[in-house]
Structure 1
Amino acid sequence: MEYARAGSRPSWPGGGTRRGGGDRRCQDGKSCSGNNPTSPYSTYYVPRAPGQTVANPNELPDGTSSTFRLREDEAVIYVGKTPPPAKYFGFRSYLFDRFNTTSNQRENIFASLGPTLNPLTIGVDTSGGTGSSPAPFDRPTLVITTGHAQTDRLIRESALAAGISESALNTDVLDPAKVKFGLEDQADSFGFLFRYAIPEDPAKGQAFLDNPGATLLRVTPTTPLTPDPIPAPARPTRGSGTSENSYSAALDALEQAIRNQYSGYDITAIPLATTGEPDPDACIAGTRSCAGDNPDALYPSSGPLRFEAALQPNANTFYVAFGVNHEASGKVLYSNLSVYGVEHLVGVKSVASPEMPGSAQDYLPNDAQANELFAWKIARSCGGAAHCMEVPTGCPGVDTNAFATITFRAYLDPVTKTGPAANELLPERILKISNP
């Protein structure tokens, strides 16, 4: 079977993928879909298929787009390496938008279509050394994004014939039961995100993001193939059977210590509005919003908080977010807390789990478990204080009287190799503290 190659180019900026910046998008008045400030994102920019006449959404002058349509027998292939060592990386495809025949408009879906290929699940070539990086980092890999079984088999056969190790071959399934393939105007469009968080060597990590030395291919059969859908893989089950309940007493003690330190202030507990387990199938069905969910993550969050007297310059009102450092407890590979501007769903600032040790000891210096907890002040001005996040106005930021959320993330249970279960993590807590 011969294949027409619709596009072949290096990946990342200047090539097949580009990084997205939250500050640029909010300046343009667009949504940032709740971007994680800790984790840069990259995406595939894919050309049209041979003979495709309907433009893909938001095409660039070179004809590529980060949202693209696919025939059911097509595939997009990443041929390159995994990144240098880091806390986390992930390859994940998405149903980006869909034509609604009732409203006669395209509607944003942005829901994941299956398990993420992450450091614990991705296949790589381990036969040869590439320096001192341990597998699966900095290793050859090939990711086939398709919903067609024969196409997948033929690509794998070609890869093996080209000398690519079988252990490096991965199939990212576009579930034919959930999507509408095609190149016509009313077909679904797809997208792809690569996430990369907290590299061990920031310079090497940035060099990879700038130029991973990869190739991105759109593969189209010269003669259309008969339907041959790939059975969708089951979504991994969250929950390993172990929890953080042993930290309950220490977390209660930390809350009391914070309240004691600000005993002359008005203190209000801010509830979490969601447990944060994404449900992409519900998003595809139109009953929930996903905004580019990652099955490897948990996203508990406050509801919208109006940053009025709270966090105005020179006002003595602030928040303290605190909880278990889920990385230190061993439940996940990394976690963070972030502040988001609601208007553009833009991630303003974040604090990641490697930065958290010692912060709870500001309030609870003598507790044996305090170093596995965290407590972080969120204010307009920190006055040079440690363990404090300053929230600016402007873009990206939160203007006075605008709404924001305080959101937490927990990435990748090392036992289940997917996102943690909400009922196995102790929920974070937030206090609003105001000078009466």
Structure 2
Amino acid sequence: MIRLSLIRSRALLALTATALMVASSATAAEAASIQPSDASQAKFLAAEGPHSASGTGWQTARFLRQLGRYGYVSQSGAEAVFDLNERYCSGAVFSGMWPNPQSPYIVTRLPEVPGQAPNTNPPVSWRLRQDEAVVLIGTTPPPEEYYSFDLTMVRGSLQTGPVLWTSIGDPINLKTVRTTGPTPFGRSFALVITGNRRTQAKVDKMLAASGLGAATNNMTIPPAMFRLGLDAGADQFLLGMRTSAPLPGFEQALERYRATPPLQVFRVRPGGSGNQTQPVYLPDPLPVPNLRVSGTGATELNLNPTLQLLRQRIIDAHPGYNATDGVVERGFEESYPGLQDKLVIDPPTTGVGALSNDADDPITPNFALPEGSFLVAYGTNHSATGQAAYSSVTVYADEKAAVALAAENNLNLYGSARDFIGDQKNADKFYAWTFSRAGDGGPTGAHVTMLPSTNSDFCAQYGGNRPVDLSTLRLVARAYMQPATLSRPALSSLLLDRVLVFTPK
């Protein structure tokens, strides 16, 4: 039986192949026969060039000339992966805060304006003058299940915690991004972040003159909700890019993209004759943008009988163990309610936790998993049911450190429930994945991930020595971007993912 996820993947690959045919002079037959393989990856890279900012060099050069003509000044920033596991182990952050190991942030780093109040989280967070803009010019990632640019606000110190970390509006994702080509993959684009209407209009005009008019994406920091400025009382912002689950054949391309992000970033502002911290334009606040509405009314709840059968079959398959039920629950509040209620993230307290408006991230309570035990995460594969473009389950360790141990996404989870309910016609709408500390005496096979022992030194792999309690675990089940709404699925429409913890009798 052809996997539903591969059907969707090949549909996307076919779309990408059409674009590559023009760029690489491939024949129609070659484009139609492109398959997920090293060959498809090679064609992608040949058509788009190596993943570097040189692909948009001429557009960037034009934009910088336009800045001079309009009397704007600029400062260059940089893009780099921000691995929260590594940052925790090095002492740079107070907690890993349940990062997604399959989608490490690519974070925008900006220099400070001379004379501004210092940032509390340099260089990953930054303040913004009310008439400034952040401009990102570059190339979008290779084909994958999901990517997005998420603008967030951070109040507090990431090193000492706790922090109020909230999303600002909807992210720009692979279904909403404007690019120079017919696909969202491997194409030039520009992103503008500001809270000032006049600045946005002028910067958009400059980008249009640079050849990026149809590929310009605007993100708003609404002054009605956030305090722009360069003084110590102003809010600080962070732009993170998520890249998740490359389509088959594009794994290496995504690794290259993350290693050297083909993105250039600038903070730009109208130049003045005096102090650069003082605005040149009068306040012209942009309004709070409307949010995409989540949920369609469609539901997974009719699949509950099969879910209960799956639970019983999993228990029956392990007669030598005691089984304890666990279920995920709403853990992270939506950003704007969390902002108003000042819900900080301070593990084990989840707060808002930079929850994307594209995502539902239910989480279990903390639980113990001693040596000789294992857990089985199971539930509906939200991608296979049409409720999400990308979904995953991730195991975390230590109630305060909240670092990621292991994760599996919808592409890998697909078909795993057949191990237990292969006789059910809707088996492929479910998954069942084992995370084990039981060694060779416990479950084995293609759908088992071995976890490090409780005696392991987690931070040694990063050259650090901070302690991590590997015996205390937690699980997050992610569901990103419902295809019909391009926003988070409604939590009420999902069958909540579940956990069974097995300990020896």
Common fold by TM > 0.5:
yes
| Displacement after TM superposition at 1:420 (Å) | 0.8
CA distance in 2, matches of 1:349, 1:419: 23
Contact 1:58–1:67 under 8 Å retained in 2: yes
Judging by fraction of residues, say which structure has more strand.
1
Question: What one-letter code is carried by the residue in structure 1 that aligns with 2:446?
Answer: A
Read off the aligned partner of 1:386 and give its amino acid letter. A
1:68 is matched with which residue?
Answer: 126
d(CA) in 2 for partners of 1:414, 1:326: 11
| Residue aligning to 2:143 | 85
- SS of 2:329's equivalent in the other structure is strand
What SS does the corresponding residue of 2:76 show, helix, strand or coil?
Answer: strand
Cα contact 2:329–2:496 (8 A) shared by 1: no
What CA deviation, in whole Å up to 9, does each residue of 1:221-273 have, x standing for no partner?
Answer: 11410000111112222111111123222111111111222244322111323
Residue 348 (structure 1) shift = 1.6
1:23 deviates by 3.4
Q: State the partner residue of 2:74.
A: 6
Q: 1:275 to 1:241 in 2, by over 3 A?
A: farther
Distance 1:419 1:180 in 2: 27
Q: Deviations over 1:67-112 (max 9, x none)?
A: 111111111010112111111111011111169xxxxx99621100
Aligned residue in 2 for 1:257 = 313
Q: 2:76 & 2:332 partners in 1: Cα distance?
A: 38
- Structure 2, unpaired ranges of 5+: 1-68, 273-279, 345-350, 462-466
Please say if residues 178 and 215 of structure 2, whose CA atoms lie closer than 8 Å, have aligned partners that are also in contact. Answer: yes
Cα distance change on mapping 1:106 and 1:68 into 2, 3 Å? farther
- The 5-angstrom pairing of residues 24-173 of structure 1 reads 24-29=86-91, 30=93, 31-49=95-113, 51-59=114-122, 65-97=123-155, 108-126=163-181, 135-164=183-212, 166-173=213-220
Conserved? CA contact 2:374–2:438, under 8 Å: no
Confirm or deny that 1:210 pairs with 2:259.
yes
Q: What is the aligned counterpart of 1:369 among 426, 430, 442?
A: 426
Identity fraction in percent: 27
1:306-345 alignment, distance < 5 Å:
306=368, 310-312=369-371, 315=372, 317-341=373-397, 342-345=399-402
Q: 1:345 and 1:265, CA in 2 relative to 1: closer, same or farther beyond 3 A?
A: closer
Q: Tell me how far apart the structure 2 counterparts of residues 377 and 199 of structure 1 sit (CA, whole Å).
A: 23
Distance 1:214 1:3, change over 3 A: farther
Q: Which residue of 2 aligns with 1:271?
A: 327
Q: Which amino acid aligns with 1:122?
A: V
Moved more, 207-216 or 404-413: 207-216
- Cα distance, 1:194–1:400 mapped onto 2, change above 3 Å: closer
Which TM-score applies when normalising by structure 1? 0.87
Q: Is the 8 A contact 2:208 2:214 kept in 1?
A: no
- 1: distance between equivalents of 2:475 and 2:198? 46
- Write the letter of the residue equivalent to 1:77: V
244-253 or 172-181: bigger deviation: 244-253
Return the alpha-carbon distance in structure 1 between the equivalents of residues 222 and 337 of structure 2: 11
Task: Tell which deviates more after alignment, 381-390 or 111-120.
Answer: 381-390
Q: Distance in 2 between matches of 1:233 and 1:326?
A: 28
What residue is the counterpart of 1:355 in the other structure? 412
The counterpart of 2:354, out of the listed 277, 289, 292, is 292
TM-score by length of 2: 0.76
CA separation in 1, counterparts of 2:316 and 2:243? 39
Give the Cα separation in 2 of the matches to 1:114 and 1:96: 14
Runs of 4+ in 1 over 4 A off after TM superposition: 396-402
Q: Which moved more, 1:379-388 or 1:76-85?
A: 379-388
Higher normalized helix content (fraction of residues): 2
Whole-angstrom distance in 2 between the partners of 1:240 and 1:111: 25
- Partners of 2:170 and 2:469 lie apart in 1 by 39
Return 263-272 or 72-81, whichever deviates more.
263-272
Partner residue, 1:179: 226
1:394 and 2:432 equivalent?
A: no
Shift of 1:43: 0.4
Q: Distance in 2 between matches of 1:150 and 1:401?
A: 52
Among 365, 369, 380, which residue is 2:437 paired with? 380
**Secondary structure of the equivalent of 1:138?**
coil
Whichever residue aligns with residue 178 of structure 2, its letter is: G
Tell whether the 8 Å contact from 1:277 to 1:298 is kept in structure 2 after alignment.
Answer: no
State the superposition RMSD in angstroms.
Answer: 2.2
> Are 2:241 and 1:194 equivalent residues in the alignment?
yes
